[in-house]
Amino acid sequence: MKYISNFPQIAKRYQKEFDLPLLFVDPQGNVVQGEACCANPEDSLRCREARQRAVEETLRWGEPYLHLCLGNCVIWAVPVMHNAELTGGIVSGGVPIDDCSPEKWGAARIRAAANRLMELAVEGNLTNAALLQLRRIDAKRESERAEAIHELKSRCYDSIRDIYLREEPELLAAIKRGDRPQAREILNRVLVGIYFLGRDRPSLLKSFLLELVVMMSRTAVECGAEPSQLLGANFSNLVDLASVSDEADLSSWLVSMLERIMDSIKEQRAYPNTVLLTAALQFMEARLADDISRDDAAAAACMSPSHFSRLVKDKFGRSFTEILTQMRIDRSKELLRLTDKSILQVCLDCGFNDQSYFTKVFQRYIGSTPREYRLRVRTSFK
């Protein structure tokens, strides 16, 4: 086992920052550099196993793993690697469990010390930072999958189609917003659900995945993605789907499709906000009788409320409230002209809760009261 030439410098810096010694160990946990301070020397085998496990678990999860060793000390480690091969590890001297208190070694300080050891190993080019990052991503996905399964059990899904119909609108809205974390979370939930219900029918499962990809791609095109570019990227991935068989590969395939789709949206500099604003206007038009807020319309456009307000002002030169009021007045004119509904009913159908206020606003916009307007337009048609 070779010694690490820069280990003494790393150990010295760490000792200065955290007043803790470091050990360099081989893959089996045997000490190669540094001095072990085990409280039970006769149990060196179990101490070695504790150091080995600290290194292996950190490699498995991609981040420092806290382990309680035989001497009742909390230890952590960083794997020393050559490319993807584990060649050893750097292990902290450990914090006595009795010192693990907010006054001495609270959780935040222990976590900071563990993360700092990782930083020093990366700076010293002693570990494979890229591989550890991939392990962290895999661990996060596994955690999200477990959460999705737990949530799935709390919901009452009758079929794969039921899952798809319930989750699709929220997923597509997240894609339009460019909210990758939310889109991944929903996609993971969908995948877990359809795999859980359709695991014995792989062909059916894949057909739903294809349908989902088509819907996500269509949403991307609506948001400005280049159709030909998106089709080319998707085609090669769709071919790969034929060889995918297990759940892990399906998850990886679907997430990669989502990333490609969202990247295709991000690449477009001229984002078609008019498409999203049109969605908001259609939402408002369909719910004029309801109590619509700016936040409601912004959500329909898949935008933040502040960004939505700015775009509305830039595009139409008026505020959301002014546009909504104009739409309600236009609707009231139509009802007054074409129906025999009472003024009060027209008022309510157009989202005005008070007839006197409706009359006041109508007169400000049209120059006459609702009753006068109805008489005038009907007289003109006779």
For 81, which DSSP code?
E
pLDDT at residue 336 in the model: 92
Share of residues in the chain with pLDDT > 70 (%)? 75
| Adjacent-strand bridge partners of 88 | 80
Q: Per-residue pLDDT tens for 57-104?
A: 888 888 888 877 767 788 889 999 888 889 999 998 788 877 777 778
Higher-confidence residue: 171 or 112? Answer: 112
Query: Strand, coil or helix: what is 68?
Result: strand
Out of 177-186, 238-247, 272-281, which region has the weakest mean confidence (pLDDT)? 238-247
What is the sign of the dihedral through the CA atoms of 35, 38, 43 and 48? negative
pLDDT at residue 196 in the model: 64
pLDDT at residue 245 in the model: 66
Higher-confidence residue: 189 or 88? Answer: 88
Share of residues in the chain with pLDDT > 90 (%)? 21
Q: Which of 16-25, 224-233, 242-251, 307-316 has the highest mean pLDDT?
A: 16-25
pLDDT at residue 361 in the model: 94
Return the closest-CA partner of residue 78 out of 52, 59, 60, 93: 59
Query: Would you say 301 and 275 are in contact if contact means Cβ atoms under 8 Å apart?
Result: no
Confidence of residue 350 (pLDDT cuts 50, 70, 90): very high
Q: Which of 1-5, 13-17, 240-244, 375-379 has the highest mean pLDDT?
A: 13-17
| Adjacent-strand bridge partners of 96 | 73
pLDDT at residue 156 in the model: 47
- Walk me through the domains of the chain, giving residue ranges and CATH numbers: 7-127 (3.30.450), 138-266 (no CATH), 273-380 (1.10.10.60)
Query: Strand, coil or helix: what is 21?
Result: coil
Out of 234-238, 283-287, 346-350, which region has the weakest mean confidence (pLDDT)? 234-238
Q: Per-residue pLDDT tens for 125-145?
A: 899 888 888 888 877 766 665
What is the sign of the dihedral through the CA atoms of 134, 135, 137 and 138? positive
Out of 52-66, 84-98, 149-163, 242-256, which region has the weakest mean confidence (pLDDT)? 149-163
Q: Please tell me the distance from the alpha carbon of residue 18 to that of residue 35, in angstroms, as a whole number.
A: 17
Tell me what the mean pLDDT of segment 364-375 comes to.
Answer: 92
Confidence of residue 357 (pLDDT cuts 50, 70, 90): very high
Return the closest-CA partner of residue 282 out of 264, 296, 261: 296
For 3, which DSSP code?
P
One-letter-per-residue 3-state SS of 318-377: CCHHHHHHHHHHHHHHHHHHHCCCCHHHHHHHCCCCCHHHHHHHHHHHHCCCHHHHHHHH
Q: Distances from the Cα of 298 to the Cαs of 44, 173, 282, in angstroms?
A: 64, 11, 12
Q: Please tell me the distance from the alpha carbon of residue 243 to that of residue 231, in angstroms, as a whole number.
A: 20
Q: Please tell me the distance from the alpha carbon of residue 33 to that of residue 24, in angstroms, as a whole number.
A: 5
Asked if pLDDT for residue 53 goes beyond 70, the answer is: yes
Query: Would you say 28 and 52 are in contact if contact means Cβ atoms under 8 Å apart?
Result: yes
Return the closest-CA partner of residue 69 out of 50, 90, 56: 50
Q: Please tell me the distance from the alpha carbon of residue 161 to that of residue 168, in angstroms, as a whole number.
A: 10
Q: Please tell me the distance from the alpha carbon of residue 7 to that of residue 127, in angstroms, as a whole number.
A: 13
Out of 71-80, 167-176, 224-233, which region has the weakest mean confidence (pLDDT)? 224-233
CA atoms within 13 A on the CB side of 365: 20
Phi, psi of 100 (to 5 degrees): -80, 75
Q: Please tell me the distance from the alpha carbon of residue 200 to that of residue 134, in angstroms, as a whole number.
A: 30
Q: Please tell me the distance from the alpha carbon of residue 25 to that of residue 44, in angstroms, as a whole number.
A: 13
Asked if pLDDT for residue 39 goes beyond 60, the answer is: no
What is the sign of the dihedral through the CA atoms of 243, 249, 251 and 252? negative
Q: Which of 199-213, 253-267, 335-349 has the highest mean pLDDT?
A: 335-349
Q: Per-residue pLDDT tens for 283-294?
A: 899 999 998 999
Phi, psi of 272 (to 5 degrees): -75, 75
pLDDT at residue 216 in the model: 78
